[in-house]
């Protein structure tokens, strides 16, 4: 059987053959109860490892590693359209997952990992989740487990290896390496911090609030189902694994409107007058720096805090660092419909402040906490109205953002099924696309934003 068939079969396997879902939930619960975790908000250090660098007005550490916090200003024809703190992290880290056949079923090696900003301590994370500073041991700790599998990925079957964007409303042009490898018969030791799971189990665990972390979701969203080769006579077997036959057609029947999408995005990149610059934090006009936080004087989506952290089992157990604290929950929403037996998804070309390439495809709704809802376009208004009335909702789950930089950031992820005829003529920046189109685009850098990738990862077959 082809690897594609085994991936689909694993997606359909909601109960594991190595560890039951109950075993996984008990494992998470036990580790949450036994591992020592102590995270406290503390004042910004006056003379510590992290400090305000008076030369450029940034917050950085003495080794100039990991990340920095800078002021960010964005203008359009000399009018300020965005001014806020921004995380600067130029290095590219690994978000990597190992998979292999175990007793006839494809399993994924997942980690129970605590990040300092996680709302619920442990979340199900990739096999390895490490910044460049981590895996080059800039922190002075030990190297992450399984690093050798990914640093020598070409020794194995590479399913995904793409550099994808992170949250462009918080990071300045930040990207990470999303990589999934099939290791065949290679021996893989499994410590207490890791467990094997089927793809279907991971998808089921995504239905629990804040259980499967963002990094897992983005890696799995990149699996190139639409582009992988099938063996002869496998098509009907794969179709039989899909309860959603319209999604099967969406995955495997191609109808690309990529030229139309590229034309819109490239026009934006070519003609946009938006300019971005990094500035000292103290020059942010509407922001106040106190001993304990950097906070906007008006309603905003986040503030910056500093935390002292102790987590058992990490490469380094004790440290302190700045974190970006969310001030409310965002809503990320996607419309889907079935047209002539094929499932389509409505997506939107969306510019964002810190986006590496200026603009990417995102979901219909990407509404941050401070948005009062009075500047929505017609499509967004219809979505929020349906959400309020509980109409057509097929996915609705609270999930966390990246806990290594964000403190208690949770977002509501919603997919709503709609009759296409309910939507009037679409604005130019909206596109109905098949899964295969998105699956094609995600094989390249800087096309789908992380909110859209995370929503696509929630789909069931």
Model confidence at 136: pLDDT above 70:
no
Computed over every residue of the chain, the mean pLDDT equals: 94
Highest mean pLDDT among 45-59, 93-107, 139-153, 253-267: 93-107
Q: Quick one: CA dihedral 432, 394, 444, 232, positive or negative?
A: negative
Taking 3-state DSSP, the helix, strand and coil percentages for the chain, each rounded to the nearest 5, stand at 25, 35, 40
Model confidence at 139: pLDDT above 60:
no
End-to-end, the C-alpha distance of the chain in Å comes to 20
Q: How far is residue 302's CA from residue 287's CA, in Å, rounded to a whole number?
A: 11
Helix (H) or strand (E) holding 432: strand 430-434
Structural contact between residues 461 and 243, judged by C-beta atoms closer than 8 angstroms:
yes
Q: How confident is the model at residue 130 (pLDDT cuts 50, 70, 90)?
A: confident
For residues 445-451, give the mean pLDDT.
95
For residues 195-210, give the mean pLDDT.
98
Q: For 291-311, how does the pLDDT look when each residue is reduced to its tens digit (9 = 90+)?
A: 999 999 999 999 999 999 998
Q: How far is residue 94's CA from residue 131's CA, in Å, rounded to a whole number?
A: 6
What CA dihedral angle connects 309, 311, 317 and 320, to 10 degrees? -10
Model confidence at 137: pLDDT above 80:
no
Model confidence at 313: pLDDT above 80:
no
Model confidence at 337: pLDDT above 80:
yes
The stretches of 96-157 forming alpha helices (DSSP H) are: 132-135, 147-151
Model confidence at 64: pLDDT above 60:
yes
Q: How far is residue 457's CA from residue 304's CA, in Å, rounded to a whole number?
A: 29
CA distances (Å), origin 351, targets 21, 440, 458 = 39, 21, 24
Model confidence at 135: pLDDT above 80:
no
Largest CA distance in the chain: 67
Q: How far is residue 130's CA from residue 140's CA, in Å, rounded to a whole number?
A: 14
pLDDT reported for residue 375 = 84
Model confidence at 138: pLDDT above 70:
no
Q: Quick one: CA dihedral 437, 439, 440, 443, positive or negative?
A: positive
Q: Which residues pair with 365 in a beta bridge?
A: 333
Burial 17-38 (b: 16+ CB within 10 A, else e): bbbebeebeebbeebeeebebe
Q: For 212-234, how does the pLDDT look when each residue is reduced to its tens digit (9 = 90+)?
A: 999 999 999 999 999 999 998 99
Residue 419 region by backbone torsions, left for phi larger than 0, else alpha for psi between -120 and 50, else beta: beta
pLDDT reported for residue 141 = 63
Q: For 378-396, how does the pLDDT look when each residue is reduced to its tens digit (9 = 90+)?
A: 999 999 999 999 999 999 9
| CATH number at 258-274+328-457 | 3.90.79.40
Q: What percent of the chain has pLDDT over 70?
A: 97
Q: For 406-436, how does the pLDDT look when each residue is reduced to its tens digit (9 = 90+)?
A: 999 999 999 999 999 999 889 999 999 999 9
Q: For 70-91, how does the pLDDT look when each residue is reduced to its tens digit (9 = 90+)?
A: 999 999 998 999 999 999 999 9
Q: Quick one: CA dihedral 177, 183, 186, 192, positive or negative?
A: positive
């Amino acid at each position: 059987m082809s690897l594609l068939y085994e991936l689909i079969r694993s997606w359909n396997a909601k109960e594991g053959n190595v560890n039951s879902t109950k075993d996984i939930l008990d494992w998470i619960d036990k580790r949450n109860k036994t591992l020592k975790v102590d995270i406290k908000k503390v004042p910004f250090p006056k003379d510590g490892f992290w400090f305000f660098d008076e030369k450029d007005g940034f917050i950085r550490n003495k080794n100039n590693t990991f990340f920095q916090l800078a002021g960010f200003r964005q203008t359009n024809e000399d009018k300020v359209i965005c001014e806020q703190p921004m995380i600067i992290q130029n290095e590219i880290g690994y978000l990597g997952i190992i998979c292999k056949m175990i007793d006839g079923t494809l399993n994924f090696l997942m980690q129970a990992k605590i990040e300092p900003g996680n709302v619920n301590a442990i979340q199900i994370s990739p096999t390895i989740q490490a910044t460049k500073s981590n895996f080059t041991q800039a922190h002075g700790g030990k190297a992450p487990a399984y690093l050798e599998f990914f640093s020598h990925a070409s020794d194995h079957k590479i399913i995904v290896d793409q550099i994808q964007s992170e949250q462009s409303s918080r990071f300045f042009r930040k990207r990470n390496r999303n990589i999934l490898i099939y290791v065949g018969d290679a021996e893989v030791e499994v410590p207490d911090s890791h467990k094997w799971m089927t793809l279907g189990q991971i998808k089921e665990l995504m239905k629990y609030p804040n259980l499967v972390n963002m990094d897992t979701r983005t890696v799995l969203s990149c699996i190139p189902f639409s582009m992988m080769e099938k063996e002869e006579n496998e098509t009907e077997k794969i179709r039989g694994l899909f309860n959603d036959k319209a999604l099967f057609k969406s995955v495997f029947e191609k109808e690309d409107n990529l030229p139309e999408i590229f034309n819109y995005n490239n026009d934006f990149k070519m003609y946009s007058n938006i300019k971005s610059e990094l500035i000292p934090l103290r020059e942010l006009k509407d922001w106040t720096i106190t001993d304990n936080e950097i906070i906007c004087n008006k309603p905003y989506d986040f503030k910056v805090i500093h935390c002292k952290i102790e987590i058992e089992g990490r490469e380094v157990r004790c440290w302190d660092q700045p974190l970006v604290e969310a001030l409310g929950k965002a809503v990320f929403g996607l419309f889907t419909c079935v047209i002539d037996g094929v499932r389509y998804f409505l997506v939107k070309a969306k510019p964002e402040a810190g986006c590496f390439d200026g603009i990417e495809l995102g979901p219909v709704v990407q509404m941050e906490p401070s948005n009062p809802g009075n500047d929505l376009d017609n499509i967004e208004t219809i979505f929020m109205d349906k959400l309020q009335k509980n109409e057509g909702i097929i996915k609705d789950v609270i999930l966390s953002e990246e806990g290594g930089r964000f403190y208690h950031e949770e977002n509501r992820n919603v997919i709503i099924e709609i009759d296409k005829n309910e939507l009037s003529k679409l604005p130019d920046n909206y596109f109905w696309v098949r899964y295969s189109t998105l699956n094609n685009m995600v094989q390249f850098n800087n096309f789908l934003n992380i909110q859209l990738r995370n929503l696509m990862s929630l789909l069931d077959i």
